[in-house]
């Protein structure tokens, strides 16, 4: 497994019923009291529900961390 640092998964709704997963990676911020993230991967196709996008995004997160 390669070291990817701190990762996070979120879901964005871009229009009615269009949900996209987004994997975020922590970057160095100006303060140690805050975490700053950049987009690492974003879904190319939307899902019809938040839960579907979260499930598909979870699979991508597992692939990225070598936990398949």
Residues 61, 6 contacting (CB under 8 angstroms): no
Of residues 1, 46, 45, 5, the one with CA closest to residue 28: 5
**Does residue 53 lie in a domain region?**
yes
**Does residue 14 lie in a domain region?**
yes
pLDDT in tens, 26-49: 987 777 778 889 999 999 999 999
How much is the pLDDT for 1?
Answer: 41
Domain tally, the chain: 1
The answer to whether the predicted template modeling score (pTM) of the entire model surpasses 0.85 is no
How much is the pLDDT for 3?
Answer: 62
**Does residue 65 lie in a domain region?**
no
Block residue for tokens 């993230």: 37
**Does residue 28 lie in a domain region?**
yes
What is the rounded CA–CA span in Å between residue 10 and residue 47? 13
Q: Each residue of 15-42: b (16+ CB within 10 Å) or e?
A: eeeebbbbbbbeeeeeeeeeeebeebbe
- In which domain, by residue range, is 26 found? 7-57
């Amino acid at each position: 497994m390669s070291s990817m640092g701190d990762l996070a998964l979120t879901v964005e709704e871009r229009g009615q019923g269009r949900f996209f997963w987004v994997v975020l990676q922590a970057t160095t911020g100006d303060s140690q009291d805050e975490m700053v993230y950049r987009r690492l991967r974003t879904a190319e196709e939307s899902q019809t529900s938040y839960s579907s996008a979260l499930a598909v995004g979870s699979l991508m997160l597992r692939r990225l961390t070598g936990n398949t």
